[in-house]
């Protein structure tokens, strides 16, 4: 009985419909919730789709009209430039602080390392909207503790409204984004650092390599794969900050001066029902993300075949 | 070679032991202090949430902030529960999370078995597709998803948002589970069948227990994603009556733009939203890191 059982199993493994059947639920839900909207969006981005179409009028086909209009719209380029600048600034600061904290965790005694790890984990675990309410409270113009501390230090920050001026709005947003993103970077790089063999570092030290030489010539090359993946993820994630910007805008600032790509799409689509233009900007964001993700996906794929 | 280095090293250390050790101790002390300061800075916002949640509005609106919850109470938490809008939002969030976790685990498990146990045509394309889908930003699709949901009358419904969440979460869940399934040798199941168990029995008694940690980790991941999600919910759940906890919290911030609000209550509300997340997150943190950075970190 057992022998036949096994023999029956062999062809099943070689070629069968089983794997396809197992994939059906996933494929169906992905096609439904992502594939269909994606196609709709592609088509709509080639149409004039506004309020009138919301009420059932047919949408005229305008070809690349939406794209051309957007490409010549200085406001879009302002938003794109702003988004890229914000993204790179946040990613750079996050990487720098994250790497320094990872190195710091290696250098301090265990008790302090655990303290640091707990603090970082708590910041990382905070749900984004809950974190946003806390930060708005911290930066509250009237009773916020940030203004109180700065005023106590003799600086002119009494009743200072941080969110009114776009520049300080983005500074606050950047602080929040960095606060939230550093833990992931620090933990990943810390995990990478544990892979640097102790003996190699010691050997280099005995051969007279200075600490900075040891860091740049031995540690960095070994943890380079971690650094590049983490940096890439930061860029991709920081390019699409939506919640933080949206919630800060809600707490009282001028949206048009503080829009990034995500909030701009939201404003176009949900605000002014200009679905054609919203779709065109969305497609632009998707293409940007896919281009950036290519490298990440390739390195994950390598792991899959390994 | 290595031995020679060691010898050379010992000699040099022996020659100058004292100053080196002192300098080392000095920097270690400075670094420890830096570590403590950084830990406090990072912890402060979380502390401030807890602190404010325990203080009354009278204390919070006084001229100087109170840094410790002296004389605090749980009154703010009580008023959150009595406010009437918290429990419906909590219910909505819980129902959506349960649906998303259950369906996601089932779908992801099936797909993970397919890609880790079978080699079939289209496998690489599928893996590629889920990796890319996982990277797609919600902001790039949410307007179209809103139109889809409104055209099938699923706006403001648990079913509608759950479908969108499942699609967003299932790719990474498959990726996480794949490693666990691949880690269980197929021979084990076959050996059990040789010993007289049926295929189902073999699966339930042998494979499933080994898979449990993976299912827990991916389940928690799915829970966190659906519990914290804001962007898609904002467009798909626009009715007050169908809002989830993140949308409910955002309502307070919106109100703060135009009027003085009771920050103690908002902080109590935020604490209530954050606590389950923090507990679950601490359980699976390690797995999520290694899942995201993949082969770059082995350990």
pLDDT at B293 (0 to 100):
60
Confidence of residue B210 (pLDDT cuts 50, 70, 90): confident
* Nearest of A138, A177, A173, A132 to residue B269 by alpha carbon: A132
Confidence of residue B90 (pLDDT cuts 50, 70, 90): very high
Q: Indicate the residue of B42, B230, B293 with minimum beta-carbon distance to A230.
A: B293
CB contacts, 8 Å: A243 with chain B:
230-231
Residue B257 · residue B273 · CB < 8 Å: no
CA–CA dist B109, A286 (Å, integer): 28
Confidence of residue A2 (pLDDT cuts 50, 70, 90): very low
CA–CA dist B57, B77 (Å, integer): 13
> How close B176 comes to chain A (CA, Å)?
11
CATH code that applies to domain B78-294: 1.10.3720.10
Least confident of A121-135, A267-281, B29-43: A267-281
The answer, for A141 touching chain B at a CB cutoff of 8 Å, is: no
The answer, for B237 touching chain A at a CB cutoff of 8 Å, is: no
Confidence of residue B22 (pLDDT cuts 50, 70, 90): low
Q: Spell out the long-range contacts of A146-149 with Cβ–Cβ below 8 A and sequence spacing 24 or more.
A: A148/B64, A148/B65
Summarize pLDDT for B249-279 with one digit per residue, the tens: 998 888 877 777 888 999 999 999 999 888 8
pLDDT at B196 (0 to 100):
85
CB contacts, 8 Å: A37 with chain B:
141, 144-145, 147-148
pLDDT at B135 (0 to 100):
85
CB contacts, 8 Å: A252 with chain B:
256-258
| Most confident option among B24-28, B190-194, B256-260, B272-276 | B272-276
Q: What is the pTM of this model?
A: 0.85
The answer on pLDDT for B222 being more than 80 is: yes
Span A232-260, average pLDDT? 88
pLDDT at A94 (0 to 100):
97
Confidence of residue B194 (pLDDT cuts 50, 70, 90): confident
A127 and B46 within 8 Å at the Cβ level: the answer is: no
The answer, for A41 touching chain B at a CB cutoff of 8 Å, is: yes
Summarize pLDDT for A143-192 with one digit per residue, the tens: 889 999 998 888 888 888 888 889 999 999 999 999 999 999 999 999 88
Summarize pLDDT for A265-289 with one digit per residue, the tens: 999 988 888 888 899 999 999 998 8
Find the DSSP H helices in B229-262: 231-236, 245-258
The C-alpha torsion from A83 through A84 and A85 to A91, rounded to 10°, is 100
The answer, for B9 touching chain A at a CB cutoff of 8 Å, is: yes
Given 3-state DSSP classes, what are the helix, strand and coil percentages for chain A, each rounded to the nearest 5?
Answer: 80, 0, 20
The answer on pLDDT for B168 being more than 50 is: yes
CB contacts, 8 Å: A187 with chain B:
285, 289
CA–CA dist A122, A103 (Å, integer): 20
The answer, for A198 touching chain B at a CB cutoff of 8 Å, is: no
How many residue pairs bridge chain A and chain B with CB atoms within 8 Å of each other?
A: 354
- Best of B137, B154, B281 to substitute, by most chain A Cβ atoms within 10 angstroms, is B137
The answer on pLDDT for A14 being more than 60 is: no
The answer, for B81 touching chain A at a CB cutoff of 8 Å, is: no
CA–CA dist B140, A290 (Å, integer): 11
Span B7-31, average pLDDT? 58
Confidence of residue B160 (pLDDT cuts 50, 70, 90): very high
* Nearest of B161, B141, B231, B236 to residue A41 by alpha carbon: B141
Confidence of residue B288 (pLDDT cuts 50, 70, 90): low
| Most distant pair of Cα atoms in chain B: their distance | 81
Q: How far is CA A220 from the centre of its chain?
A: 24
pLDDT at B262 (0 to 100):
87
> How close B295 comes to chain A (CA, Å)?
5
Find the DSSP H helices in A108-165: 110-125, 128-138, 145-152
pLDDT at B294 (0 to 100):
54
B45 and A300 within 8 Å at the Cβ level: the answer is: no
Residues 6+ apart with CB under 8 A from B36: A112, A115
Q: At what angle do helices A166-193 and B263-293 cross, to 10 degrees?
A: 40
Span A20-33, average pLDDT? 94
Confidence of residue B19 (pLDDT cuts 50, 70, 90): low
The answer, for A108 touching chain B at a CB cutoff of 8 Å, is: yes
Residues 6+ apart with CB under 8 A from B43: A118, A119, A122, A123
CA dihedral for B209, B295, A113, A90, sign (positive or negative)? negative
The answer, for A193 touching chain B at a CB cutoff of 8 Å, is: no
> How close B73 comes to chain A (CA, Å)?
19
The answer on pLDDT for B185 being more than 90 is: no
Residue B165 · residue B217 · CB < 8 Å: no
Residue B187 · residue A13 · CB < 8 Å: no
A192 and B296 within 8 Å at the Cβ level: the answer is: yes
Span B112-123, average pLDDT? 88
Summarize pLDDT for A182-240 with one digit per residue, the tens: 999 999 999 889 888 888 888 998 998 888 888 888 888 888 888 988 998 899 889 88
In terms of pLDDT, which residue wins out, A110 or A15? A110
Least confident of B141-145, B160-164, B295-299: B295-299
Task: Tell me the backbone φ, ψ of residue A61, rounded to 5 degrees.
Answer: -80, 125
Q: Indicate the residue of B2, B113, B249 with minimum beta-carbon distance to A133.
A: B249
pLDDT at B167 (0 to 100):
95
Summarize pLDDT for A217-230 with one digit per residue, the tens: 888 888 888 898 89
**Which domains are present in chain A?**
37-72+274-306 (no CATH), 85-272 (1.10.3720.10)
Q: What is the DSSP letter of B297?
A: S
ipTM, two decimals: 0.85
* Domain parsing of chain B, residue ranges: 2-73, 78-294
B110 and A25 within 8 Å at the Cβ level: the answer is: yes
pLDDT at B237 (0 to 100):
94
The answer on pLDDT for B214 being more than 90 is: no
């Amino acid at each position: 009985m057992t022998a036949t059982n096994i023999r029956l199993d062999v062809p099943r493994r070689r070629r069968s419909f089983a794997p396809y059947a197992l994939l059906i639920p996933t494929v169906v839900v992905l096609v439904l919730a992502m594939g269909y909207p994606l196609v709709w969006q592609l088509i709509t981005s080639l149409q004039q789709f506004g309020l009138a179409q919301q009420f059932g009028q047919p949408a005229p086909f305008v070809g690349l009209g939406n794209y051309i209009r957007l490409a010549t719209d200085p406001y879009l380029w302002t938003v794109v430039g702003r988004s890229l600048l914000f993204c790179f600034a946040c990613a750079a600061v996050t990487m720098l602080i994250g790497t320094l904290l990872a190195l710091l965790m290696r250098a301090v005694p265990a008790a302090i390392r655990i303290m640091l790890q707990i603090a970082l984990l708590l910041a990382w675990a905070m749900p984004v909207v809950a974190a946003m309410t806390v930060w708005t409270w911290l930066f509250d113009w009237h009773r916020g503790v940030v203004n109180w501390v700065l005023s106590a230090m003799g600086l002119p920050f009494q009743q200072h409204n941080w969110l009114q001026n776009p520049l300080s709005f983005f500074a606050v947003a950047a602080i929040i984004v960095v606060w939230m993103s550093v833990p992931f970077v620090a933990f990943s790089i810390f995990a990478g650092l544990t892979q640097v063999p102790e003996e190699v570092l010691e050997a280099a030290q005995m051969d007279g390599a200075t600490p900075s030489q040891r860091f740049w010539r031995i540690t960095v090359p070994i943890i380079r794969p971690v650094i590049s993946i983490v940096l890439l993820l930061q860029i991709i994630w920081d390019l699409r900050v939506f919640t933080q910007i949206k919630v800060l805008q809600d707490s009282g600032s001028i949206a048009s001066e503080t829009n990034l790509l995500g909030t701009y799409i939201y404003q176009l689509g949900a605000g002014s029902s200009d679905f054609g233009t919203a779709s065109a900007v969305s497609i632009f964001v998707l293409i940007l993300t896919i281009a950036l993700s290519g490298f990440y996906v390739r390195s994950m794929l390598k792991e899959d075949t390994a | 070679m290595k031995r020679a280095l060691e010898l050379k090293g010992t000699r040099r250390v022996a020659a100058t032991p004292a100053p080196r050790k002192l300098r080392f101790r000095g920097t270690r002390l400075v670094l420890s202090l830096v570590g403590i300061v950084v830990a406090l800075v990072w912890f402060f916002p979380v502390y401030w949430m807890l602190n404010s949640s325990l203080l009354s509005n009278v204390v919070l609106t006084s001229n100087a902030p109170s840094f410790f919850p002296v004389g605090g109470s749980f009154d703010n938490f009580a008023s959150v529960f009595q406010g009437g809008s918290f429990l419906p939002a909590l219910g909505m969030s819980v129902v959506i999370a349960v649906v998303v976790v259950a369906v996601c685990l089932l779908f992801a498990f099936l797909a993970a078995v397919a890609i880790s146990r079978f080699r079939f045509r289209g496998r690489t394309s599928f893996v590629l597709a889920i990796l890319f889908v996982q990277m797609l930003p919600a902001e790039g699709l949410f307007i179209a998803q809103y139109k889809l949901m409104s055209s099938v009358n699923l706006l403001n419904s648990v079913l509608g948002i759950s479908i969108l969440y499942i699609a967003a979460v299932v790719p990474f869940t498959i990726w996480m589970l794949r490693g666990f399934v691949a880690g269980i040798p197929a021979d084990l199941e076959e050996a059990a069948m040789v010993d007289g168990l049926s295929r189902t029995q073999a699966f339930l008694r042998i494979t499933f227990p080994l898979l449990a940690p993976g299912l827990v980790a991916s389940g928690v991941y799915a829970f966190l994603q659906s519990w914290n999600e804001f962007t898609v919910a904002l467009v798909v759940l626009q009715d007050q009556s169908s809002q989830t906890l993140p949308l409910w919290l955002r309502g307070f911030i919106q109100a703060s733009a135009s009027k003085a609000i009771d920050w103690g209550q908002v902080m109590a509300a935020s604490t209530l939203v954050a606590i389950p997340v923090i507990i679950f997150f601490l359980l699976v943190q390690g797995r999520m890191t290694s899942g995201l950075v993949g082969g770059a970190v082995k350990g």
